[in-house]
Amino acid sequence: MMAKRYYRKRVDLFRLIDKIKLWPSRKGILHGIRTIQRIGDQAQITTHCNKTFMANDSRNSRAARWLRNKWFKDVCPVCRIPAWKLEKYSSTQFKRHYGSALLSEDELDKKNGD
């Protein structure tokens, strides 16, 4: 049985996808992310099936909500997401008051200094 992992509901979208490397498309297909390149407030995402698109860094975006709620109909057959990754994702929980916000070391230092 895989250990549950917890993230904050308010976790930054780009940090989250940088960690889990999964992207739910509008059609409800879960893709594997190959690269994420930040460009200002946006990111250029390339999936393993070679789709490239821009995404906004919003916790309230469709993709952020779908990721948190694990809404997807199918898994992309071309991306070939490994089973362990899907298992890890399904055991991931998003909590309001508990879990990692995936803050950088600087941000953690600042927080602890308050």
Min dist. Cβ of residue 9 to Zn ion (A): 26
- Cβ distance to Zn ion smaller for residue 7 or 72: 72
What is the spatial distance between Cα 14 and Cα 21, in angstroms, rounded to a whole number?
10
What is the spatial distance between Cα 24 and Cα 106, in angstroms, rounded to a whole number?
30
Instruction: Provide the binding-site residues for Zn ion, judged by CB under 5 A.
Output: 31, 47, 49, 76, 78-79
What is the spatial distance between Cα 36 and Cα 40, in angstroms, rounded to a whole number?
12
Q: Which residues pair with 56 in a beta bridge?
A: 42
What is the spatial distance between Cα 75 and Cα 73, in angstroms, rounded to a whole number?
7
- Cβ distance to Zn ion smaller for residue 34 or 88: 34
- Residue 93: strand, helix, or coil: strand
- Cβ distance to Zn ion smaller for residue 28 or 110: 28
Query: What's 99's DSSP letter?
Result: S
- Cβ distance to Zn ion smaller for residue 11 or 29: 29
Min dist. Cβ of residue 68 to Zn ion (A): 20
Min dist. Cβ of residue 33 to Zn ion (A): 9
Min dist. Cβ of residue 103 to Zn ion (A): 29
